[in-house]
Amino acid sequence: GIKWLADLRDPWTTVYYNDMLPRTESTRRKDKKLEDEVLALADAVSVVSPGMQKEFSGRNDNVQVVMNGFDMSDMEAADANIEHDAKFRLTYTGNFKPNQHVPEIWDGICELINEDEGFGKDFRLQFVGNVDASAPDYFIGKGLSENLELLSYVPHAEATRLMTGSVLLLFVVPQSRNNKLIITGKLFEYLASGTPVLSVGPVDGDAAGILADTAREKMFDYKDKQAFKQKLMQLYLSWKSNGRRLDKLDTGMLDKYSRRSSAREISEIMNKITL
């Protein structure tokens, strides 16, 4: 018969946004039944994180991790059009949801703006895409609207150019059930840009493991204001003393996270179940 590889890019019944939806008990039961059937019948299952592999392994004996990757050609095109930032800009690209609001981290940023005149003049927090009002309202409420930049949706090529051109990038794992399993495609693009990344989320989650594996800055806990604040100021001083630039990070170790590598891994799984 026809072999079946079930590719699950997100958790199914435990995906974080299910908690935000008005799902009935019968809907949850039907969803769980479908999930069980797929896991029982598939010849192989591919998932995007070790945490998801652990979640599904008891229900299928051939669960393989194939990470979400990045397309290096996107980064090469962006590098060709890079414009170095004149401001000390921390950029977030993509949808920013209510459960990514991190008031303790915002507090640390606000304190730096108020405590250090040079930082206050140079720093900009830039959101690119659809942003929940909670984050911008927080800074506006503190009288810091001049340090805030909001750009609406931009094409992917422009978002990639902004990633490579910014001084720093912000990555926030949603605060939700099972968020230790969350690894978004955005993280890999951030890493491939070579731009330093400040990340906030579960310090023992799968995304934190990737940061460690790629020798990037560690994950900061949602409430670890002091550590985040200290690192941000350290990077600002480095930027200032280095001609208002931060050096790009090595991307040579990232090949295993490229889409070419992911496609190769999927091909190998398909060969094994069909030969």
Read off the DSSP letter of residue 253: G
> Which two tokens mark 164?
């490579």
> What contacts 146, CB < 8 A, 6 or more positions away?
none
**Cα 161 to Cα 148: distance, rounded to the nearest angstrom:** 19
Supply the range of the domain harboring residue 266: 5-67+258-274
CATH number of the domain where residue 221 is located: 3.40.50.2000
Both 47 and 121 in a single domain?
no
Both 34 and 77 in a single domain?
no
Both 245 and 223 in a single domain?
yes
Rg for the chain, CA atoms, rounded: 20
**Cα 64 to Cα 265: distance, rounded to the nearest angstrom:** 9
pLDDT digit string (tens) for the chain, length 275 residues: 899 999 999 889 988 888 888 999 999 999 999 999 999 999 999 999 999 999 999 999 999 999 988 988 877 665 655 666 689 999 999 999 999 999 999 999 999 999 999 999 999 999 999 999 999 999 999 999 999 999 998 999 999 999 999 999 999 999 988 899 999 889 999 999 999 999 999 999 999 999 999 999 999 999 999 999 999 999 999 999 999 989 888 888 888 899 999 999 999 999 999 98
User: How many other CB atoms sit within 10 Å of the CB of residue 178?
Assistant: 16
Both 119 and 219 in a single domain?
yes
- The answer to whether 75 touches 108, Cβ cutoff 8 Å, is no
Both 232 and 210 in a single domain?
yes
Both 248 and 137 in a single domain?
yes
Both 57 and 92 in a single domain?
no
Give the per-residue pLDDT at 159: 92
Please state the domain count of the chain.
2
Both 134 and 109 in a single domain?
yes
Give me the sign of the Cα torsion angle 59, 60, 64, 68: negative
* Residue position matching structure tokens 């190769």: 264
Give the per-residue pLDDT at 1: 85
Both 76 and 33 in a single domain?
no
